Amino acid sequence: MPSSLFTAPGSFSAKNRPLLKRIGRVTGFLSITIILFLLNSCSSLSPLNAESQYHPAGNDYSNPNLSQAPGEQNSSTNEMASLDLPIVVQDDMDWKSLEQVIQNQLTVMEAQNGFEPVTLEGLNLTIGDLRNSLDAFLKLVRQNLEPDEFNLRIKENFTLYKAGQGRNKKFLFTGYYTPVIPASPVQTDEYIYPIYRLPDDSPELNFVSLTPSENSNNEPRPNWKDYTREQIDRHGILKNQRLEIAWLKDDLERFFLHIQGSAFLRFPNGKLQSVGYAGANNYDYQGIGKLMVRDGLLRDKGQQSMQGIKKYLRNHPEKIPLYLYQNKRYIFFSYNDTGPRGSGGGTLVGGRSMATDKSIYPAGGLALIFVRKPVLNQDNKITGWKRTFRFVVDQDTGSDIKGPGRADLFFGIGLRPGIMAGNFKEWGEVYYLIKKN
Residue pLDDT, tens place only, 132-160: 999 999 999 999 888 888 888 998 999 99
Compute the radius of gyration of the chain from its Cα atoms: 24
Alpha-carbon gap, residue 40 to 242, rounded angstroms: 56
Encode pLDDT of 76-94 as tens digits: 233 454 445 544 456 889 9
For residue 368, pLDDT over 90 is answered with: yes
8 versus 257: the higher-pLDDT residue is 257
Pairing of strands 406-413, 171-178: parallel
Q: What is the pLDDT of residue 148?
A: 83
Which ranges of 40-94 would DSSP assign to H, the alpha helix? Answer: none
Q: Is the pLDDT of residue 13 over 50?
A: no
Which pLDDT does position 201 carry in this prediction? 58
Cross-strand partners of 221: none
What whole-number percentage of the chain has pLDDT above 70?
74
Confidence check: pLDDT of 26 > 80: no
Q: For the chain, which residues make up each domain, given as ranges? A: 58-176+343-435, 178-215+222-336
**pLDDT 10s digits, 92-115:** 899 999 999 999 999 999 999 999
The C-alpha atoms of residue 342 and residue 103 are separated, in whole angstroms, by 14
Flag whether pLDDT at 424 surpasses 90: yes
Mean pLDDT for 321-341 is 93
Question: What is the third-level CATH fold of 58-176+343-435?
Answer: Barwin-like endoglucanases (2.40.40)
- Give the Cα separation of 354 and 172 in Å (integer): 12
| Residue range 63-74: mean pLDDT, rounded | 33
Cα–Cα distance between 359 and 35 in angstroms, integer? 37
**Cβ contacts of 154-159, under 8 Å, gap ≥ 24:** 154/6, 154/85, 154/433, 155/82, 155/85, 156/436, 157/435, 157/436, 158/133, 158/433, 158/434, 158/435, 158/436, 159/60, 159/61, 159/80, 159/81, 159/82, 159/433, 159/434, 159/436
Identify the H or E element spanning 157: helix 147-157
CB 247 within 8 A of CB 193: yes
Give the CB-side neighbour count of residue 332, counting CA atoms within 13 A: 18
Convert the pLDDT of each residue in 161-200 to its tens digit: 999 998 889 999 999 999 999 999 999 999 999 999 999 8
Tell me, what's the pLDDT at 5?
33
344: phi then psi, degrees, rounded to nearest 5:
-80, 0
Least confident of 3-12, 57-66, 406-415: 57-66
CA dihedral of 416, 417, 423, 428, whole degrees rounded to 10: 140
CATH topology of domain 178-215+222-336: Ribosomal Protein L25; Chain P (2.40.240)
> What string of DSSP letters covers 232-298?
IIIS-TTTTSS-EEEEES-HHHHHHHHHH-EEEEE-TTS-EEEEEEEEE-SPPP--HHHHHHHTTS-
Percent of the chain with pLDDT over 90: 64
Mean pLDDT value of segment 229-234 = 97
Residue 319 C-alpha from the chain's centroid: 28
Closest among 171, 185, 136 to 54, alpha carbons compared: 171
Distance of CA 418 to the CA centre of its chain: 13
Q: Are 353 and 347 in contact (CB under 8 A)?
A: no
